[in-house]
Chain A
Amino acid sequence: MRAVAALAVAVGLIVAAILTRDALDDDGDSAGGTSAGSRTALVCAAELADACAELEDDVNVRVEAASVTAERLTTAADADEAAVDVWLAPAPWADLVVDARERAGAPDLVGEPSALIGRSPVVLVVWNDRAAALEAGVCGGPVEWRCLGDAADRPWDTVGGESAWGRVNVGLTDPDAATGLVVLGGAASGYFGNADYAANDLDGEFSGWLGALGAQADSATTDVVNEMLTRGPGRFSAVGALEAEALDAADRDDVRVIYPAPVATADLVAIPIGGAEGAAGDIAGNDDLRQALSESGWRVDGEPLAAGVDGGLDLPTDDSLPEGGVLGALLARWNEVTG
């Protein structure tokens, strides 16, 4: 009899725990699970780990490189196999996976991304003297992606600088990283002058330009801005990164933060997997997440701008990036030329 009573108490406790969990999940400030009693599995791109930590009370957070998530979502048969409900990453990654699955004839898995959570434009950080030399030399005006790539990997004295500076070494955030793909797309948009290019345009001349731009790229460097600022111009003459990754540079008077045209942006969204639109919407609207992103340099509607974010810059309405398939082809070309 005592055993039966104990069992009843145990069942009651379990039911109570489930009900409590559901109540918490239904709270407006939490990210709800995709099924009753389960916690949402959120995968965060590695660069967003700190902001995602704010959600750990409400969802199961896993942090990993965007390319790893993309691989899983490209090859998974369904959401269960992917073990992801929501993916927090810049929007082009969703396009990339959708395109790859379509081409593979795989069924739909990736849903419509949430409303925009935050944005961060692509910037160039250039040492002041190097920027001046480029402007007076090969660029013949403001430093833009095209002329920077033209100068890249050349001796400085051939492009307007001093021979003592060595070569024009350009660093880029690793394109396999969530934000790096956006930087790469922004660089290519800079080369073509707009985002209206296709894989057909990635010809030999472009490959040569891209190869030079990536000649000093190093996937082992996870923070190119920090690497540049701590090691000096001998390491990188200029780097391409997101504004949110370059806040430290804005404070310094020996480097310049440039917003090359067209201004490409990383548009951060919550990407639902396997029908988890509700959970994605909850995450996108999570105040803690939005605040954390804002504090880390992302431009989030309704949140103050962090120090170092240029409040005078109006971002374009679109992200100035090509569609996902083109970004996929661009990434493949990048890996090819940087070998």
Chain B
Amino acid sequence: MRQGMRRAWPRWVAALLAGLIAAACSGGDDGDGDGEAALADPGDCVTVDVASSPEKLELLGDLADSFNDSDAARLANDDCAFVRVQNKSSGAAEQLLANGWDDSVEGPRPVIWSPAASTWGQVLNQHLSEEGQPAMAPTDAASFMLTPLVIAMPRPMAEALGWPDTPLGWTDVLALARDGAGWGSRGHPEWGAFKLGKTNPNFSTSGLSALIAQAYAATGKTTGLSLEDLANPAVASFASGVESAVVHYGDTTLTFLNNWYRADQRGNPYQYVSAVAVEEKSVIDYNSGNPDGILDQGEEPREPRVPLVAIYPEEGTVYSDNPLMVLDAEWVDAQQREAAAAFVDYVQTPENQERVLEYGFRPGIDDVPVAAPISEANGVNPATPQTLLDVPRPEVLAGLLDDWATQRRSARVQIVVDVSGSMGDPGDPETGATKLDLAKEAAIAALEEFKDDDQVGLSIFSTELGDQGDQEVLELVPTSRVGDVREQLANRIRDLVPTNNTPLYAVTQRTYEEALAAFDPARINAVVLLSDGRNQDDDSADDRDQLTELIDTLEAGGEGQASRPVRVFPIAYGDDADLPTLRQIAEATSAAVYDSSDPTSIDKVFTAVVSNF
């Protein structure tokens, strides 16, 4: 690592990038898409703060601006309304509303909450109910725009299942997941096993919607899903069967879409994943060559070699309905309600509803017909879905999430923590905590997110480790069932101290190869790699060769029909972390890199990483 040569980006580039990064999170309801942009001054007007999920932030912000300048913002008694929109992903906002929204940290408490789907309102009300508090989310909120949950598949794979003539759904997914011959039973052994992509329902709207749809599919019902249904062993078996095909979870569908697209560009979209539960809008974005739904600076949309098609599950599906919920909260007064109602009316005018089509969504009112880009040419079908599912009652939703925690595919994860000397640098100036202090705290907290049946091991890396000072990686806790070693893991993490250098490449290679050797086909196999620096070992002359060999090794492990995918999820920790290299490592294993350049964000980042399991 070159010392003392680090240079800040020019501020104008950094500002631009910050905007782009925020925008990049707008392709779906991502767990970490929250931004803290400065909010406009409302003057003497009645302020309506809106907490919006990221996929509609830009559109809703535009509409707020035009509303504020329009006659529609004039209220009774010569008052005026002023709407401000801030970015809050659905799951994060739900937790903030349930647990107490600290406006000094999270921005103003919302008058209108617009998560990606009404289901989040149900989840919120249930959480509040469990704490003995009244419901906050209305159940009859107006819908801003719609997009149904679909199962996206490469067109040839869908055709191998009989699409478009044969109705397909979760039952077919289950059959494929349970079929030991995988795609071989459908005439395509070269595609290997059936692999499913699904996000974590605690963070992601599409993950939650998929969970609901799976459960309904298991019961054969389209309404009235009950706790009794969930207790049915056949329903549980159905859920476990579907989950057994999951490649990994995560907080955002963008990880799947980006990895899939990258695999497509390399000429093989069939090995990484066979199907992913996403919103219809994502299929349109992907097929336009823009898998994350936003064109970054200098990016050029390039259509995929193999397009996706949207399968609308024959058992039924649910809409992400993007409700505009005027909260029944103690901080919302009558004037704000009036102002909020005016804004809700405004966004539902036909001319404003036509704008949602530009973003690949369906209008929320029937006055505006569904039109391009929602068309068969883009892999979606405007005439579907034919069957819609009722959103379950709050307690059933809570039961679904509880059951999922045990039914989800188990994981085998090696956590590897950089304990190089720089981890002793200050991480939080306010508390004096070092970077390692913050990482330890976050890692210990994240252990709670693993289920007992997951297997987790802990290693540290630096130089001159071990009794003889000749080791670069030390295994502190062998990979074991978390339920048996959670406390041991926490204790060993607490004891970590910063030491010497950062032999990043050698340690990643070694850890990966060990994970590959111990590969468990029944589990999600992964390495979580936390590093705060660039590769630094005793010999810098071979750094490039080391990296080339590492990337080749990682890519080779995930290729071929008999691949044993071990995914490496790096966390780029602190300002000096080698984010480009860590991104390369993640992409080589079709995983994702997590940016914790601000050390105080490590708790959120660790949670997001563990959401993959």
- A interface with B by C-beta (< 8 Å): 67-68, 70-72, 74-75, 99-100, 103-104, 153-155, 158, 167, 176, 198-200, 203-205, 207-208, 211-212, 215, 218-219, 322-323, 325-333, 335-339
Contacts and interface: CB of A to CB of B under 8 A. Distances in A.
B15 interface: yes
Contacts of B576: 339
Interface string B1-43: 0100111011111011101100000000000000000000000
A100 B16 contact: yes
B100 interface: no
B299 A167 contact: no
B16 A328 contact: yes
**Nearest 5 Cβ contacts at the A-B interface:** A71-B12, A199-B298, A204-B584, A329-B298, A198-B300
B12 A75 contact: yes
Nearest to B5: A218
A328 B13 contact: yes
A181 to B, nearest CB: 11
B583 A219 contact: no
Nearest to A338: B7
Contacts of A327: 298
* Interface of B, helix, strand, loop or mixed by DSSP: helix
Contacts of B588: 204
* Interface of A, helix, strand, loop or mixed by DSSP: helix
Contacts of A338: 5, 7
Contact of A200 (B7, B300, B548): B300
Given A200-B299, A329-B299, A339-B576, A67 B584 contact: no
Given A75-B12, A335-B7, A339-B534, A103 B19 contact: yes
B308 to A, nearest CB: 18
B20 A336 contact: no
24 contacts: A71-B10, A75-B12, A75-B15, A104-B16, A153-B544, A154-B544, A198-B300, A204-B584, A208-B580, A208-B584, A215-B2, A323-B298, A325-B297, A325-B299, A328-B13, A328-B16, A328-B298, A329-B296, A330-B298, A332-B9, A335-B9, A336-B579, A339-B6, A339-B578
A103 B300 CA distance: 14
A200 B547 CA distance: 22
Contact of B298 (A204, A208, A215, A325): A325
B302 interface: yes
Contact of A67 (B10, B299, B587): B10
Interface string B539-582: 00101100110010000000000000000000000001011110
B509 to A, nearest CB: 16
A326 to B, nearest CB: 4
Given A99-B297, A328-B298, A208 B15 contact: no
Nearest to A326: B298
A336 B13 CA distance: 11
Nearest to B551: A204
A184 to B, nearest CB: 13
Nearest to A220: B5
A73 B539 CA distance: 45
A215 B581 CA distance: 14
B541 A71 contact: no
A212 B19 CA distance: 28
B16 A204 contact: no
Contacts of A68: 10
B299 A337 contact: no
A71 B16 CA distance: 10
Contacts of A99: 297-298
A212 to B, nearest CB: 6
Contacts of A332: 9, 13, 16-17, 297
Contacts of B2: 215, 339
Contacts of A329: 296-299
Interface residues of B, number: 36
A91 B87 CA distance: 36
A330 B299 CA distance: 11
A59 B471 CA distance: 66
A219 B547 CA distance: 26
A333 B580 contact: yes
B482 to A, nearest CB: 32
A103 B16 contact: yes
Nearest to A216: B2
B117 to A, nearest CB: 28
Contacts of A104: 16, 19
B7 A219 contact: yes
B297 A200 contact: no
Contacts of A211: 580-581
A198 B300 CA distance: 6
A74 to B, nearest CB: 5
A84 to B, nearest CB: 14
A199 B12 contact: no
A203 B551 CA distance: 13
Contacts of A203: 587
B12 A100 contact: yes
Contacts of B19: 103-104
A337 B16 contact: no
Contact of B299 (A198, A215, A331): A198
Nearest to A339: B6
A206 to B, nearest CB: 10
A153 B543 contact: yes
A176 B10 contact: yes
Contact of B544 (A67, A100, A212): A212
B297 A199 contact: yes
Contacts of A158: 541
B297 to A, nearest CB: 5
A338 B8 CA distance: 10
A217 B2 CA distance: 10
A74 B20 CA distance: 14
A75 B10 CA distance: 13
Contacts of B581: 207-208, 211
A311 to B, nearest CB: 35
A71 B547 CA distance: 35
Pick the most buried of A100, A103, A339: most chain B CB atoms within 10 A of its CB: A339
Contacts of B543: 153
Contacts of B534: 339
Contacts of A215: 2
Given A104-B19, A215-B2, A67 B579 contact: no
B355 to A, nearest CB: 15
A81 to B, nearest CB: 14
Pick the most buried of B16, B17, B543: most chain A CB atoms within 10 A of its CB: B16
Contacts of B17: 332
Given A75-B12, A100-B297, A328-B298, 20 more contacts: A68-B10, A71-B11, A74-B12, A154-B544, A198-B298, A200-B299, A204-B551, A207-B581, A211-B581, A218-B5, A326-B298, A328-B16, A329-B298, A329-B299, A332-B16, A335-B10, A336-B579, A336-B580, A339-B6, A339-B534
Interface in B281-320: 296-300, 302
Nearest to B575: A339
Contacts of A70: 10, 12
A167 B10 contact: no
Contacts of A323: 298
Nearest to B7: A219
Interface in B566-610: 576, 578-581, 583-584, 587-588
Contacts of B13: 67, 328, 331-332, 335
A177 to B, nearest CB: 11
Contacts of A71: 10-12
A92 to B, nearest CB: 12
